Structure 1
Amino acid sequence: MSGSEPNGGPAAAEKSRRPARDRIFETAREMFYKHGIRAVGVETIAAEAGATKMSLYRNFPSKDELVAEVLREQSREAFDWWDEVTAGEDDPREKIAALFEALAGKNCCEESHGCALGNAAVEIHEPDHPARLVAHEHKRETHRRLLQMAHAAGAETDDLGDALMLLMEGGYMARVTLSPKGPVRNLAGAARALMRAYLD
């Protein structure tokens, strides 16, 4: 980020005018996703944000709380995106297909490193860590939404919703391990196949 313009420039000047909290938050979000939560320290975040460690702690009580706040924002954005990509479909089956079609496109971009919430759940092991709690709540809500969509499409049990959850989680991992040109491209087709198997 700012390290490429140590002597300033338009981007650095624009960045410096933004509130320190915003700079710290956005820098932390980017670095956690690219490099991992444990790999990035508060000193590095503050330096990259053009702030001080003291400023970071004035705005966030701890690194754990900073991580949790980043994940809360990512969770909110994820569900806003979900609502947006499914809003144009009235048929419940098409809503599911639209969701997985959009997810394939999102995962196939070169900047994708998988699901930020899922990555956090894997990386953070302490059961009472605030960020882990946010990640687990996000996944519970994801599962609840998929169950609701499956039942709206005609499923009489939770099996289809469970299968769609597994497909979604597997899609994120397939993107990381098998590249955007791998099986993740067929997420919508796989979702349709599951619907045929469970509903027809």
Structure 2
Amino acid sequence: MNDEEARTRLLDAAEALFYAEGIQAVGMDRIRTESGIPLKRLYRLYPAKEALVTAYLERRDRRWMASLSAATRGQADPVGAVFEWLAEWFSEPDFRGCAFLNAYGELGAGPAGVLDVVRRHKAELRALLAGIAGPGREGLAEQLLLLVEGATVVAALEPGPGAAVRAREAAYVLVRADGTG
């Protein structure tokens, strides 16, 4: 097995465990066991748990943002598409909230690499929403961000599409009030 395959197996195991159980609750030995990668190789590829957590979040960010971007691209109603995408995500059986907020909630301003990934993810989400809101509508983009984040937190406590549906209704009120739709 080459290093790329080993990284993939480690990241798959880390993502499943960290997202389901929390970062602090899962040790490197557990990741070794779940991935089938020897501990020595794990530490060669990820010299510290922070490096593995950072890599897990970076990979999750790329996949998450690509999926949301694809769901909104070219849509006649991109605001609605955001919340429809969220409703589907919130309905997944293993949904446990936002991995980035969960990581920040557990680790706070602790590991700099992890905090950087969390901040970058939120900046990317803000930029995507700004593109949807349109030029000169930064206030609307910020309001949409608050709705997305709030709905995600509520859905972590009450899984299912309900929070996304209610947030979409609020988003439409904001869009109409802003004069964009």
State the partner residue of 1:82: 68
Q: Which deviates the most, 37-46 or 78-87?
A: 78-87
Contact kept? 1:108, 1:184, Cα under 8 Å: no
- Partner in structure 2 of residue 104 of structure 1: 87
Cα shift at 1:72: 0.5
- Give the gaps of 5 or more residues in structure 2: none
Equivalent residue for 1:4?
Answer: none
Q: Deviations over 1:81-134 (max 9, x none)?
A: 122101232x4xx11211221111111222111111221122222355211210
Please show how residues 129-144 of structure 1 align to structure 2 within 5 Å.
129-144=112-127
Q: Distance in 1 between matches of 2:7 and 2:27?
A: 16
**1:167 and 1:191 in contact (8 A); partners too:** yes
Give the letter for the 1:39 counterpart. A
- Could you state the TM-score of these two structures normalised by the residue count of structure 2? 0.88
Name which one, 1 or 2, has greater alpha-carbon Rg.
Answer: 1
Q: Which residue is 1:12 aligned to?
A: none
TM-score (norm 1): 0.80
Alignment-derived partner of residue 64 in structure 1: 50
| Cα distance in 1, alignment partners of residues 39 and 155 from structure 2 | 35
Tell whether the 8 Å contact from 2:29 to 2:39 is kept in structure 1 after alignment: yes
Q: How high is the sequence identity, in percent, across the aligned residues?
A: 31
Tell me how many residue pairs correspond in the alignment: 177
Show CA shifts across 1:62-84 (max 9, x none). Answer: 11001000111111111211221
What is the Cα-based RMSD across aligned positions, in Å? 1.9
Q: CA deviation at 1:183?
A: 2.8
CA contact (8 A) 1:174 1:182 kept: no
Contact preservation (8 Å) 1:108, 1:185: no
- Counterparts in 2 of 1:188-199, with a 5 A limit? 188-199=168-179
Post-superposition offset of 1:61: 1.7
Tell me which of 14, 19, 27 is aligned to 1:28: 14
Could you list the per-position Cα deviations for residues 28-66 of structure 1 after superposition, in whole angstroms to 9, with x for gaps in the alignment? 111000001111000111012122221210211211001
Native 8 Å contact 2:19 2:96 kept in 1: yes
User: Is 1:145–2:125 an aligned residue pair?
Assistant: no
Partner of 2:40: 54
